[in-house]
Amino acid sequence: MDKLKRVLSGRDAEEPSGLAEVIDATSLGWGTRVKGFIACFAIGCLCSILGSCLLWIPKKGLVLFAVFYTLGNIASIGSTMFLMGPMKQLKRMFEPTRLIATIVMLVSI
């Protein structure tokens, strides 16, 4: 379990103790990260489902769908930042093997 925590937090290799203490003091605890992920992901799913349901409202349906579905996607993507941190998330999203998928996803949002 410790290995999984180190990989998801971006600390695969062992670091010097001074730097490790600074990182541990300034980061969220594992339980807080999981709770934040679950809450943000649930909000994202709820917004996406709500947007899909609001699509069928006459006249304003398309606008409501676009707003809620976009907020749901952003919240769902943001939820993974709780597990691995924002900088590591952005670095992984813009790796050469994922660059095209990231660009397509961002343009479609």
Q: Mind listing the pLDDT tens digit for each residue in 7-49?
A: 666 665 555 555 565 556 557 788 888 899 999 999 999 999 9
In a domain, 51, yes or no: yes
In a domain, 90, yes or no: no
- In our burial notation (b when 16+ CB lie closer than 10 A, e otherwise), range 50-71 reads bbeebeeeeeeeeebbeebbeb
Residue 29: the pLDDT is: 81
In a domain, 73, yes or no: yes
User: Which tops the pLDDT comparison, 46 or 85?
Assistant: 46
Total tally of structural domains belonging to the chain: 1
| pLDDT tens-place string over residues 11-21 | 655 555 555 65
In a domain, 103, yes or no: no
In a domain, 99, yes or no: no
CA dihedral angle for residue 49, residue 50, residue 52, residue 58, rounded to 10 degrees: 170
The full length of the chain comes to 109
Average pLDDT score over the chain: 83
Separation in Å, CA 52 to CA 18, 56, 64: 49, 8, 9
Read off the pLDDT band of 88 (50, 70, 90): confident
Task: State which residues form the domain around 45.
Answer: 1-83
